[in-house]
Amino acid sequence: MSDLLRLLTLLVTLAILVLVGTVFFAHAEGWSWLDAYFFTVVTLSTVGYGNIVPVTVAGKIGTTVFIFVGLGIFAVVVQQIGSYAGRKREEHTEWLIARLGHHKHTPEPHHAPKAANEDDRPEPESAPKR
């Protein structure tokens, strides 16, 4: 399966999970669609503001099931997005290297610059005055 298709599949799965959670909480708790959606996203992302909480038995049980199922899916989606972005960055870097070439600059030995952190040689001490 290609990376883009895998990512699209996971995003659709996440959208379905949010939709199912929103519908469930709107009916189980009697919340508005906006409150149910808000609770679903806040719970799924593990933010958990706590300003809306389920009070019915069905809502509490549904929330625990939703957390166990949803958190795994959410974590996989976030990981896949990061992995996809990392692969694209690597491909772009390889393209840049191929496009710009492999130029290595090595200074000639007699023109080698002095290292910035090299210690200075100590000054010779002069003979003490009497």
The 10s digit of each residue's pLDDT in 29-65 is 999 999 999 999 999 888 888 888 999 999 999 999 9
pLDDT of residue 87: 86
pLDDT of residue 106: 58
Q: Show Cβ contacts of residue 39 under 8 Å, excluding neighbours closer than 6 positions.
A: 21, 25, 31, 52, 54
pLDDT of residue 109: 57
Please write the tens of the pLDDT for every residue from 62-120.
999 999 988 888 888 888 888 888 888 998 888 888 888 765 655 555 655 666 677 77
Domains of the chain, with CATH numbers?
A: 3-100 (1.10.287.70)
Residue 112's φ and ψ, nearest 5 degrees, are: -65, 130
